[in-house]
């Protein structure tokens, strides 16, 4: 199952985003063009447990009420409110206990004045009973019971539809299927839902200089941190992520690897080789299929996006080789693409405004995404402390729970000023 492109090619999308050979493209325009060229993956019907973690493709409407019938919410004595409303510690009300009801009891029974049933939580309420008296308010009798305290009408009773009426929208299209939602669906009698499949994402690191983890870098060698980190990031975004590993700077090797991976991928992510230097093989080899854009984004100003395998093929995102820039590029471009393919709504992470705790500088003309640690204030609102950015973005991201966004016109942001912060929920 592959991505469904919208009308037009990836080059059309890039052109719509304002991509030019020399201009730096504003991020908002670039993303609008890229995302406009994609559609969510085709939906499928799944059993509710298997659907966990997927995104609903359509609204789910409850076929009946929740709870489905009036039942006891607590253990106690099901009685008529009119029979027990006058109970006092010194003047108890005496009721005959005419039977016991448990959660598996299914035959309807009726109360007559002056009687009650001993009930367990979950048991069907007797007809005309409108209160469950807790055992602690009685002498806990078996054949007869004395009630020492009055209760409010409806105490200890859950009525049909109290939580959700019949026909209620249980979840909207675009929502993730969570464990609590699985419970709501099951309680409503729904066993299957229509969802978008989780995108299959393949991650490839490129470069002759790369060596696998488990060894220290030597001159001319760089440990491949990117493919591991990006595979984890894709999984965190809800994808089925597969790390292919390292591809040398061999044009035929890269082409063959992409051809092989198209069979199992809804999205391919490469890292490295997006610049214009003599060793940037990815940009040279994929220039007919991928549009490489220079964005007004720091620290990942060069990103590539396109389709491999023709206009109806598989989308590909090409990220920089620097680990910090690659992870920022993932947040900026790859993660929204994954969310769109999954059918999620919204596709972007939430953001808040926060008070900056210390003054920071930012490159002129660039929208900087700076690792930060955000804290909710006791009296309301947020504060944010900047962490290491620029060439040290990777170490900053390791401690970050947010990304501080400094606009293109911001050269310096003073302590006490208010800035935008994207919230990094590491669970999604």
Tell whether the model's pLDDT for residue 191 goes beyond 80. yes
Q: Which residues contact 93 (CB under 8 A, 6 or more apart)?
A: 83, 84, 86, 87, 146, 147
pLDDT tens track for 67-119:
999 999 999 999 999 999 999 999 999 999 999 999 999 999 999 999 999 99
pLDDT tens track for 388-416:
998 899 999 999 999 999 999 999 999 99
**Residue 276 confidence class, pLDDT cut points 50, 70, 90:** confident
pLDDT tens track for 144-155:
999 999 999 999
In this structure, what are the phi and psi dihedrals at residue 184, rounded to the nearest 5 degrees? -60, -45
**Residue 8 confidence class, pLDDT cut points 50, 70, 90:** very low
**Residue 7 confidence class, pLDDT cut points 50, 70, 90:** very low
Q: What is the DSSP letter of 362?
A: -
Tell whether the model's pLDDT for residue 215 goes beyond 80. no
Closest by CA position to 198, among listed 40, 5, 58: 40
Greater confidence (314 vs 10) lies with: 314
Tell whether the model's pLDDT for residue 1 goes beyond 70. no
Under a CB-based contact definition with an 8 Å cutoff, are residues 4 and 42 in contact? yes
**Residue 202 confidence class, pLDDT cut points 50, 70, 90:** very high
The two tokens of residue 101 are: 């009801």
Tell whether the model's pLDDT for residue 13 goes beyond 70. no
pLDDT tens track for 327-376:
999 999 999 999 999 999 999 999 999 999 999 999 999 999 999 999 99
| Average pLDDT value for residue range 193-209 | 95
In this structure, what are the phi and psi dihedrals at residue 319, rounded to the nearest 5 degrees? -105, 160
Of the listed ranges 228-232, 290-294, 382-386, the one predicted with least confidence: 290-294
- What is d(CA 137, CA 87) in angstroms, rounded to the nearest whole number? 10
- What is d(CA 227, CA 332) in angstroms, rounded to the nearest whole number? 17
Tell whether the model's pLDDT for residue 163 goes beyond 50. yes
Instruction: Report the first-to-last Cα separation within the chain, whole angstroms.
Output: 23
Mean pLDDT of the chain: 91
- What is d(CA 163, CA 180) in angstroms, rounded to the nearest whole number? 14
Under a CB-based contact definition with an 8 Å cutoff, are residues 199 and 343 in contact? no
For residues 39, 422, 225, 325, the Cα torsion angle rounded to the nearest 10 degrees is 90
Greater confidence (20 vs 108) lies with: 108
Greater confidence (338 vs 276) lies with: 338
């Amino acid at each position: 199952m592959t991505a469904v492109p919208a009308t037009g090619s990836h080059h059309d999308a890039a052109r719509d985003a304002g991509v030019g050979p020399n201009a730096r493209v504003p991020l908002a325009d670039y993303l609008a063009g890229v995302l406009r060229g994609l559609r969510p993956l085709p939906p499928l019907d799944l059993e509710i447990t298997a659907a966990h973690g997927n995104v609903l493709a359509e609204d789910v409407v409850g076929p009946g009420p929740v709870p489905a019938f009036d039942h006891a919410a607590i253990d106690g004595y099901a009685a008529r409110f009119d029979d027990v409303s006058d109970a006092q510690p010194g003047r108890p009300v005496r009721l005959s206990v005419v039977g016991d009801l448990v959660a598996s009891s299914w035959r309807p029974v009726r109360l007559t004045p002056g009687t009650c049933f001993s009930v367990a939580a979950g048991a069907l309420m007797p007809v005309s009973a409108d209160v469950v008296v807790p055992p602690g308010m009685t002498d806990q009798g078996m054949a007869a019971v004395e009630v020492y305290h009055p209760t409010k009408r409806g105490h200890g009773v859950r009525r049909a539809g109290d939580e959700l009426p019949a026909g209620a929208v249980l979840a909207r299209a675009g929502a993730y299927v969570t464990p609590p939602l699985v419970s709501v669906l099951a309680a409503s009698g729904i066993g299957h839902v229509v969802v978008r499949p989780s995108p299959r994402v393949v991650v490839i690191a490129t470069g002759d200089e790369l060596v696998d983890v488990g060894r220290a870098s030597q001159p001319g060698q760089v440990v491949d941190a990117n493919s591991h980190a990006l595979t984890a990031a894709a999984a965190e975004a809800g994808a089925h992520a597969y790390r292919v590993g390292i591809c040398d700077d061999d044009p035929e090797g890269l082409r063959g690897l992409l051809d092989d991976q198209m069979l199992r991928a809804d999205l391919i992510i490469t890292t490295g080789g997006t610049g214009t230097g003599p060793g940037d093989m990815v940009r040279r080899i994929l220039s007919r299929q991928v549009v490489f854009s220079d964005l007004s984004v720091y620290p990942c100003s060069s990103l590539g996006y396109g389709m491999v395998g023709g206009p109806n093929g598989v989308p590909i995102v090409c990220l920089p080789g620097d680990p910090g820039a690659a992870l920022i590029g993932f947040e900026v471009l790859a993660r929204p693409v994954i969310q769109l393919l999954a059918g999620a709504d919204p596709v972007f992470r939430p953001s808040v405004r926060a008070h900056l705790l210390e003054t920071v500088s930012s490159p002129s003309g660039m929208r900087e995404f700076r690792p930060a640690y955000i804290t909710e204030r006791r009296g309301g609102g947020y504060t944010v402390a900047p962490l290491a950015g620029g060439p040290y973005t990777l170490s900053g991201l390791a401690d970050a729970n947010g990304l501080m966004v400094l606009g293109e016109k911001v050269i310096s942001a003073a302590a006490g000023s208010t800035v935008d912060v994207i919230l990094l929920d590491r669970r999604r």
